[in-house]
């Protein structure tokens, strides 16, 4: 296909954003359910939580894998700089994701108490760790990381753990916990369902506090992350949508419309990622303190030919992916019931 | 130790461990498709029981395959950033295509395969099993395309110079169908089918020895032996065409496989032995002319030796190591043909069941494809050295900048991955053993849920 008239760098900036937003919306609730896992006490409840995400978590993680692959192909400089620069953080993220994955698979395969407890802790720690690290990575990208003229990271592991990235780490964790709690609410019934309602309120409070602090910190310390909105005030409507969506969550939960609460949570995520992308654009990684070394859609992109080929692949692939993702969620709709196949 | 050695060790460790599992998923995927097709066709409950049992084994291997696969995708960026910048255009595209075309398909339908027994009808379940199997094969396609491009780059041009140089795609299909990709894909898939088939063979033979679940074991053994024999024979064809491709496209690698120093017509094939690297000669029994014949179908044609193909020692891979890996793979490959043919013959005649020695051989046959697959991959990758992308970029030039990733970083990651992988492997063996000891569920002889609806044909 011929895409010569298109600004392919921008298209891929958006597509990568879509992939990571998809990841946050989908695997976000898996990680959130994982983070809440240890709050449940009985084995049956833990199995219900696990089986709520059982059939879908694997497909959800593919959004991250594909996002990573797309980043590699479309913006190899970003992929190389960020992955080598965040070395230890990403190794920890991998270990956390591995534990999350195998804990889900292995936990219920043996009846022993110690066995199940070991994997429960692995599942929860893996989920919490992954959420925090993803948030910290996002925080660093927004705050800016030290890059030299060749686009190589010049900081250390510890320099990645600044207050703002850590704050974003906790905000991400809170967001995923809230998202996961709402998802679990949709998928459960009975006493666990009733108790989840209580947890959701706490999760919402935790998230709103983090969200408010992050917003203040961003406006105070990262003026560049609000520059586009200052220049084009109509973009403020996205921020309003974001806040309304968040405010709508407790309302829907209170009215017992769990599904709508989940949609609100998704809308809030889309709006947040949209704002993040708008303020970052055209940069993919901000350089701090040397803004001139930032990686953007010009200096980090693959050749237009490759971006065009990849766009063809995406145009063919995405509708198919969406079609069967929707079918899978449809097949496994409704409340979780434990049976012989369950985890 | 230096970063280069550590990074190579780290990649070898994580790739080798990962590669224990995907071949099993691919091979068992094929077995599942066959078994479910037989069930749909005949309606015999034993096939349903088989599908359920092997699905459980499949799920176990799949989980670890997924969990360890994502590590490799990250490692290109973490440890090989210069390589990633250099090949992002080409290699990244194949990796992204793998995500979109293969992983989504695989993981989406896996849900139905594992948890959908009671939720969908038998035809839709069969369709899902086929899609999971297809997805696993697609992922092999794209990752082999990417890796083959590193062996025989095609469809690209080099843009820029020095540190800014990078490969850009000029022709996507030439990149996909680069000279080695189809041979290597076929070779890898045959190995994967063998890996899956011999798991089935091994477990079934063990049940027969222990006189447990005999109906189940006999039916499984039949499917396993047929898939195992067919794929072992196909592997012979594929091994031959692959070697001819290597002879044509990567003469240094072929010379290393065989320890051939001097270009020669009527070149000999060394059956086994070792390469005396100091004196540049090979010690071991050899068959004159066979290498020329295998490489070119003609004893009179020359096979290029190392002194001509890579005059400088710095351009050669580690010779004895490559030689041994290659010979190990070939030897085990022939062994698998022999074992599966022998097993099949006696199974056919009905004389297998009173031959415990043969059943024990079949029990241990499960190790064969694993050894050959590992040795084959090591031979392919070590034999490409010192290049990370053949002829374009040296492995030592592909590392992340030393100011960014230090030896300490890599060492830390090696310790972490080793610890985690050891734990995973122990758990895998423990759970697999538990599944085998537990055996197929007799309750599975009676299909439940939507699968038991009367529309199904019964015999």
Q: Is the pLDDT of residue B74 over 70?
A: yes
Q: Helices B214-249 and B22-42 meet at what angle, rounded to 10?
A: 130
Q: What percent of chain B has pLDDT over 70?
A: 97
Q: CA of A55 to nearest chain B CA: how many angstroms apart?
A: 5
| Contact flag B170-A81 (C-beta cutoff 8 Å) | no
Mean predicted confidence (pLDDT) in A218-236: 88
> What pLDDT does A335 receive?
83
Mark which residues 91-110 of B lie under 8 Å from A by CB: 91-93, 95-101, 103-105, 107-110
Q: What is the pLDDT of residue B322?
A: 92
pLDDT at B458 over 50: no
Query: Which of A 277-336 lie inside 8 A of B, CB atoms?
Result: 302-303, 305-306, 309-310, 313-314, 317-318, 320-321, 324-325, 327-328, 331-332
Chain A closest CA to B177's CA: distance in Å? 15
- A94 inside 8 A of chain B by CB: yes
Chain A contacts of B125, Cβ < 8 Å? none
Rounded CA-CA distance B7/B327 in Å is 26
pLDDT per residue as tens digits for the range A163-202: 999 999 999 999 999 999 999 999 988 888 888 888 899 9
Residue A156 touches partner B, C-beta closer than 8 Å: no
Q: ipTM of this model?
A: 0.85
**Peptide bond just before B204 cis, omega within 30 deg:** no
At residue B455 the predicted structure's pLDDT band, cuts being 50, 70 and 90, is: very low
Q: What is the pLDDT at residue B447?
A: 63
Place of tokens 């002319």: B289
Least confident interval from A117-126, B71-80, B442-451: B442-451
How high is the mean pLDDT of chain B? 88
Q: How far apart are CA A42 and CA A73, in angstroms?
A: 45
Cα A338–Cα A56–Cα A258 angle in degrees, nearest 5: 75
> Hey, which residues does B387 pair with through a beta bridge?
B394
Interface of B with A in 288-317 (CB under 8 A): none
pLDDT for B159 equals: 86
Nearest Cα of chain B lies from the Cα of A85 at a distance, in angstroms, of: 6
Mean pLDDT rounded to a whole number for chain A: 89
Q: Dihedral through CA A282, CA A285, CA A287, CA A288, nearest 10?
A: 110
* pTM summary value: 0.89
Whether residue A232 lies within 8 A of chain B, CB to CB, comes out as no
pLDDT the model gives residue B459: 36
Output the six-digit token pair for A306.
Answer: 């490759």
Q: Is the predicted pLDDT of residue B94 greater than 60, yes or no?
A: yes
Q: Which of A62, A84, A309 sits opposite B103 (nearest CB)?
A: A62
Looking at the partner chain, which of A75, A153, A341 has a beta carbon nearest the beta carbon of B115? Answer: A341
A295 exposure class (CB count in 10 Å sphere: 0-12, 13-18, 19+): buried
Residue in chain B closest to A19 (alpha carbons) equals: B100
Each residue's pLDDT tens digit, A106-115: 888 888 888 8
Q: Mind listing the pLDDT tens digit for each residue in A277-333?
A: 999 889 999 888 888 888 888 888 888 888 888 898 889 988 888 888 888 888 888
Residues B18-34: what's their mean pLDDT?
95
Q: Is A77 on the interface with B (CB under 8 A)?
A: yes
CA–CA separation, A189 vs B328, rounded Å?
57
Instruction: Kindly state whether A339 is in contact with chain B, defined as any CB-CB distance less than 8 angstroms.
Output: yes
B254: Cβ contacts below 8 Å, ≥ 6 apart = B243, B246, B247, B260, B295, B303, B304
Chain B nearest-CA residue for A105 = B63
pLDDT at residue B454, as a whole number: 45
**Is the pLDDT score of B450 beyond 60?**
no
For residue range B123-143, list pLDDT tens digits in order.
889 999 999 999 999 999 999
pLDDT higher than 90, residue B333:
yes
Do the chains contact at B84 and A97, CB–CB below 8 Å?
no
Please give the Cα distance from B158 to B218 (Å, whole number).
57
> Exposure of A210 by Cβ count < 10 A (0-12 exposed, 13-18 middle, 19+ buried)?
buried
pLDDT of residue B422: 93
Q: Does B335 touch chain A if contact means CB atoms closer than 8 Å?
A: no
B69 near B18, Cβ under 8 Å?
yes
Contact A317 B434 (CB under 8 A): no
Nearest CA of chain B to the CA of A244: how many Å?
33
B448 pLDDT higher than 80 = no
Work out the average pLDDT over B60-85.
89
Contact A159, A138 (CB under 8 A): no
CB A222 within 8 A of CB A275: no
Q: Counting runs of H as helices and runs of E as strands, what totals does chain B give?
A: 17, 8
Separation of alpha carbons B311 and B135, rounded Å: 43
What is the predicted pLDDT for the residue at A2? 65
The 10s digit of each residue's pLDDT in B387-431 is 999 888 889 888 888 888 888 889 999 999 999 999 999 999 999
| Of residues A180, A61, A71, the one with CA closest to residue B68 | A61
Is-contact A133 A160, C-beta < 8 A?
no
Instruction: State pLDDT tens for residues B31-55.
Output: 999 999 999 888 888 898 899 999 9
Q: Does A153 sit within 8 Å of B404, measured CB to CB?
A: yes
pLDDT higher than threshold 70 for residue A162: yes
The predicted pLDDT at position A59 comes to: 86
Cα angle B110-B113-B117, degrees, rounded to a multiple of 5: 145
Cα–Cα dist B378/B22, whole Å? 16
A positions 48-67 inside 8 Å of B (CB): 54-56, 58-59, 61-62, 64-66
> How far is CA A334 from each of CA A193, A331, B91, B116, B296, rounded to the nearest angstrom?
13, 9, 41, 14, 62
User: Distance (Å, rounded) from C-alpha A161 to C-alpha B77?
Assistant: 20
Minimal Cα–Cα distance from A253 to chain B, Å? 28
Query: What pLDDT score was predicted for residue A1?
Result: 58
B 423-452 → A contacts, CB under 8 A: 424, 427, 431, 434, 443, 448
State residue B449's pLDDT score.
52
Closest-CA distance of chain B to residue A92, Å: 9
Q: How many CB pairs under 8 A join A and B?
A: 235
Q: Provide mean pLDDT across the span B341-365.
A: 90
How sure is the predictor about B8, in pLDDT bands with cuts at 50, 70 and 90?
A: very high
- A105 touching chain B per CB within 8 A: yes
């Amino acid at each position: 296909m011929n895409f010569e008239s298109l600004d392919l760098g921008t298209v891929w900036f958006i597509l990568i954003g879509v992939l990571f937003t998809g990841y946050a919306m989908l695997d976000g609730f898996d990680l959130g359910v994982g983070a809440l896992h240890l709050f449940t006490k009985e084995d049956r409840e833990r199995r219900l939580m696990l089986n709520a995400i059982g059939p879908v978590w694997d497909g959800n993680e593919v959004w991250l894998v594909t996002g990573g692959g797309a980043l590699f192909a479309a913006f190899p400089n970003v992929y190389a700089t960020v992955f080598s620069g965040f070395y230890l953080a990403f190794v920890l993220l991998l270990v956390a994701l591995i534990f999350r994955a195998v804990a889900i698979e292995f936990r219920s395969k043996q009846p022993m108490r110690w066995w199940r407890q070991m994997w429960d802790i692995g599942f929860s720690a893996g989920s919490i760790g992954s959420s925090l690290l993803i948030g910290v990575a996002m925080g660093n990208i927004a705050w800016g990381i030290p890059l030299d003229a060749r686009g190589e990271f010049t900081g250390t592991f510890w320099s990645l753990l600044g207050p703002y990235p850590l704050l974003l780490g906790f905000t991400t964790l809170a967001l995923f916990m809230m998202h996961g709690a709402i998802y679990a609410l949709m998928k459960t019934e009975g006493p666990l369902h009733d108790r989840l309602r209580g947890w959701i309120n706490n999760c919402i409070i935790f998230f709103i506090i983090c969200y408010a602090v992050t917003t203040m910190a961003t406006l105070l310390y990262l003026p560049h992350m609000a520059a586009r909105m200052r220049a084009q005030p109509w973009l403020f409507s996205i921020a309003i949508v974001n806040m309304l969506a968040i405010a709508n969550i407790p309302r829907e939960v209170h009215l017992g419309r769990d599904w709508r609460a989940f949609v609100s949570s998704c809308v809030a995520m889309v709006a947040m990622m949209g704002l993040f992308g708008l303020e970052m654009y055209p940069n993919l990684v901000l350089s701090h303190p040397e803004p001139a070394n930032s990686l953007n859609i010009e200096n980090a992109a693959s050749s237009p030919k490759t971006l065009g080929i990849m766009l063809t692949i995406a145009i063919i692939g995405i509708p198919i992916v969406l079609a069967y993702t929707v079918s899978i969620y449809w097949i496994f709709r409704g409340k979780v019931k434990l049976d012989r196949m369950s985890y | 130790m230096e970063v280069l050695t550590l990074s190579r060790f780290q990649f070898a460790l994580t790739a080798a461990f990962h590669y224990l599992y995907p071949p099993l998923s691919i091979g068992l995927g094929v077995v599942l498709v066959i078994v479910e097709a037989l069930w749909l066709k005949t309606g015999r409950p034993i096939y349903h029981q088989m599908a359920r049992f092997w699905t459980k084994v499949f799920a176990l291997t799949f989980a670890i395959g997924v969990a360890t696969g994502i590590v490799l995708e990250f490692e290109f960026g973490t440890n090989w950033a210069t390589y990633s910048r250099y090949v992002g255009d080409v290699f990244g595209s194949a990796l992204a295509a793998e995500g979109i075309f293969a992983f989504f398909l695989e993981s989406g339908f896996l849900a139905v395969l594992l948890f959908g027994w009671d939720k969908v009808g038998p035809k839709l379940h069969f369709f899902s099993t086929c899609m999971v199997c297809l997805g696993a094969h697609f992922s092999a396609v794209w990752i082999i395309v990417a890796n083959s491009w590193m062996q025989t780059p095609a469809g690209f041009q080099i843009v820029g110079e020095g540190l800014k140089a990078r490969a850009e795609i000029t022709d996507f299909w030439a990149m996909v169908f680069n000279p080695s990709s189809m041979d290597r894909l076929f070779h890898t898939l045959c190995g994967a089918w063998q890996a899956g088939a011999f798991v089935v063979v091994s477990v079934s033979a063990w049940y027969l020895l222990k006189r447990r679940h005999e109906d189940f074991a006999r039916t499984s053994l039949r499917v396993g032996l047929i898939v195992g024999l067919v794929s072992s024979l196909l592997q012979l064809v594929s091994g031959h065409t692959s070697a001819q491709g290597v002879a044509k496209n990567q003469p240094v690698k072929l010379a290393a496989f065989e320890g051939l120093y001097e270009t020669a017509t009527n070149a000999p094939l060394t059956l086994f032995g070792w390469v005396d690297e100091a004196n540049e000669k090979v010690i071991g029994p050899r068959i004159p002319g066979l290498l020329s014949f295998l490489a070119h179908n003609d004893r009179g044609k020359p096979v290029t030796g190392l002194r001509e193909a890579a005059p400088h020692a710095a351009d050669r891979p580690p010779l004895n190591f490559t030689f041994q890996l290659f010979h190990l793979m070939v030897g085990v490959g022939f062994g698998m043909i022999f074992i599966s043919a022998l097993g099949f013959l006696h199974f056919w005649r009905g004389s297998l069941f009173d031959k415990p020695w043969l059943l024990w051989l079949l029990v241990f046959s499960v190790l064969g494809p694993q050894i050959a697959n590992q040795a084959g991959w090591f031979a392919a990758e070590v034999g490409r050295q010192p290049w990370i992308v053949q002829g374009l970029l040296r492995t030592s030039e592909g590392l992340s900048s030393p100011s960014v990733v230090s030896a300490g970083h890599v060492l830390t990651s090696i310790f972490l991955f080793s610890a985690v992988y050891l734990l995973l492997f122990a758990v895998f063996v423990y759970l697999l053993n538990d599944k085998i000891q537990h055996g197929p569920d007799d309750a599975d002889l009676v299909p439940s849920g939507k699968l038991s609806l009367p529309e199904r044909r019964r015999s």
